[in-house]
Structure 1
Amino acid sequence: MMEPRSVLSVGATLGEGPVWVAHDEALWFVDIKERHVHRFDPAAGLAHRWDAPGQVGWILPTDNGLFAAGLQTGIHRFNPAKETFTLLHAPEADRPGNRLNDATVDPAGGLWFGSMDDDEVADSGRFYRLHKGVLTESGLPAVSITNGPALSPDGSLLYHTDTLGRRIWQTRIANDGTLSATTLFAEIEDGAGYPDGPTVDAEGCLWTGLFGGWAVRRYDPSGKLMTEVRFPVANVTKIAFGGPDLTVAYATTARKGLTDRQLVEQPLAGNLFAFDPGVRGQAGYMAAI
């Protein structure tokens, strides 16, 4: 595997939510704390940034040619050309201390997403699914910081992360969309960082960023650790597979929580990285919200 290299210098406070948008041939991601949406065109070497009206946890393409954005106040329709954010759903209007944190899209266009306590203390984070205007709470246990979800290639398994608990869980999705049979998939040992955003490749193996762990890891479908890719920065948040054939792994990173001395020692912290994962990713789906 290639050593991760910095491909875009953004110095994000909390880079997150990378997603390759095939029809745009670009990688989109966010800086949650700085309230930025980023677009990176690797072929042209060009980048663009939009300001969001609140903390933005993720950005995903929708079936109407626009984007869904998970802000602290709820799910918004984002129109890059008009630079507008329009509120569509406020799933946790009664929990102003929460914000939306990570998301993915299933083969039917269902948008799976999680919330979290912005202070990272209370167990107030939950997982939801939004599909064609219908919002459903997953019923999974509440935790402080949710990450994911991510889906197996056939869409039958949902992976969801309890970041502070250092656990990644696996739940079966029935044909009618209900969840059952949750089991522990992987647990991160003390001193190895905290599991952040998960991503599943075309072979059904799960990759997770390790916040404070200087690495991303790949686990096989049984939960066995296969590979660890080391980074020159401590806080690796999430990867996305991109490029025309989905064989490039892009990784967002963060400066959040680093001391002044650590920032000097990690001058690339917060940048967007890329490496050769040795495997293809899954093609993404458009959200039908």
Structure 2
Amino acid sequence: MSEPHIRLTGLGLVESPRWHDGRLYFSDWSVHEVIALDPDGRHEVVARVNSLPLCTAWRPDGRMVIVDSGRGLLLRLEPDGSLVPDADLTGLAGAWNDVVIDGRGNVYVNRLGFDMLAGAPFAPGYVTRVGPDGSARDVADGIAFPNGMAVTQDGSTLIVADSYGSRLMAYDIEADGGLSAGRVWADLGDGVPDGICVDAEDAVWYADVPNRRCVRVREGGETVQTVELDRGGFACALGGEHRSTLFVVAAEWRGMPEMVAPGSGRVLSIEVTVPGAGWP
């Protein structure tokens, strides 16, 4: 495995990397922008949403959706660059976070059970499924701090990073999009998983902020590979021409309320041997 290569620097709190249609998309939460990065280093802002968090996913028909956490909405990016409401989540209380959409179009959004930014008392969080009609219902609960999510390549399993629990949770995806059989997929010991992705061997890469690394684990918790970083790893995605490039977004974490050192955010890439699979 090669050493990390710096693709882009001078960013803020970077999150939600997604490989789509030949480009890496990610969010810079510090400036409320969704950015697309070409393999040759060119980049452009594709959307601006005044939201923290600010996460993205793609429907099977190629339309991007964006979690507008502040207003409790799912937004859809139209071909002309405009943003229109896709689903209203305001009927469910909590702080919205990550989103993933599987190959059947099941939309899963998770949320904290408390407002961390406002210093509210802790409460466990949820995973919510958004139906084709925009309706939202909780399909999993009791997750201490739901963070990154991914769906395995066969579409059968949703994996959720529980940052406070130092574990990866797994749920069977039912025919109607509901979730069942919640279980611990991997106990990570001192690991603090944030954004995650799945590869073709059904192993999971997770980014870790306090431990400054990105780690590949198998079901059960066996650590297979570790990429050491010089700053916190917030999320990762497998992409590139053959989905064998691990993209990591990282920044220098300074804690609340500042969060990250200004300009310390960057996009890194590492070539790996097992390509990506599943969603995102």
What's the TM-score once normalised by structure 1's chain length?
0.83
Which residue of structure 2 aligns with residue 103 of structure 1?
Answer: 99
Q: How far does residue 256 in structure 1 lie from its aligned partner after superposition?
A: 4.0
Alpha-carbon distance in structure 1 between the residues aligned to 2:60 and 2:169: 29
| Contact residue 232 and residue 268 of structure 1 kept, 8 A | no
Paired residues for 1:50-89 under 5 Å: 50-72=47-69, 73=71, 74-79=73-78, 81-82=80-81, 84-89=82-87
Identical amino acids, percent of aligned pairs: 23
Q: How far does residue 263 in structure 1 lie from its aligned partner after superposition?
A: 7.8
Q: 1:64 to 1:153 in 2, by over 3 A?
A: closer
Q: How far does residue 124 in structure 1 lie from its aligned partner after superposition?
A: 5.3
Alpha-carbon distance in structure 1 between the residues aligned to 2:169 and 2:144: 15
**Structure richer in strand, relative to its length:** 2
- Give the letter aligned to residue 51 of structure 1: R
- Give the letter aligned to residue 110 of structure 1: N
Alpha-carbon distance in structure 1 between the residues aligned to 2:216 and 2:35: 26
Alpha-carbon distance in structure 2 between the residues aligned to 1:218 and 1:124: 26
| Contact residue 255 and residue 270 of structure 1 kept, 8 A | yes
| Contact residue 39 and residue 47 of structure 1 kept, 8 A | yes
Q: How far does residue 284 in structure 1 lie from its aligned partner after superposition?
A: 4.8
Note if 1:188 corresponds to 2:185: no
Which residue of structure 2 aligns with residue 275 of structure 1?
Answer: 270
Which residue of structure 1 aligns with residue 11 of structure 2?
Answer: 11
Note if 1:112 corresponds to 2:111: no
Q: What CA deviation, in whole Å up to 9, does each residue of 1:128-148 have, x standing for no partner?
A: 122422434343224453113
| Contact residue 199 and residue 276 of structure 2 kept, 8 A | yes
Q: How many residues align?
A: 271
Alpha-carbon distance in structure 2 between the residues aligned to 1:282 and 1:21: 13
Gaps of at least 5 residues in structure 1 are none
| Contact residue 32 and residue 56 of structure 1 kept, 8 A | yes
Which residue of structure 1 aligns with residue 43 of structure 2?
Answer: 47
Alpha-carbon distance in structure 1 between the residues aligned to 2:266 and 2:92: 34
Which residue of structure 1 aligns with residue 209 of structure 2?
Answer: 211
Q: Secondary structure at the match of 1:7?
A: strand
Q: 1:171 to 1:272 in 2, by over 3 A?
A: same
Alpha-carbon distance in structure 1 between the residues aligned to 2:156 and 2:278: 16
Paired residues for 1:102-181 under 5 Å: 102-116=98-112, 117-119=114-116, 121-123=121-123, 125-143=125-143, 145-181=145-181
Deviates more, 1:211-220 or 1:247-256: 247-256
* 4+ runs deviating over 4 angstroms: none
The CA RMSD measured in Å over matched residues stands at: 2.6
Which residue of structure 2 aligns with residue 230 of structure 1?
Answer: 228
| Contact residue 253 and residue 260 of structure 2 kept, 8 A | no
Alpha-carbon distance in structure 2 between the residues aligned to 1:186 and 1:152: 15
Q: Which has the higher contact order (CA 8 A, sep 6+)?
A: 1
Alpha-carbon distance in structure 1 between the residues aligned to 2:171 and 2:91: 27
Alpha-carbon distance in structure 2 between the residues aligned to 1:107 and 1:51: 26
Which of the numbers 237, 240, 243 marks the counterpart of 1:240?
Answer: 237
Q: What CA deviation, in whole Å up to 9, does each residue of 1:195-226 have, x standing for no partner?
A: 11121111111111112111111112343221
Gaps of at least 5 residues in structure 2 are none
Q: How far does residue 122 in structure 1 lie from its aligned partner after superposition?
A: 2.7
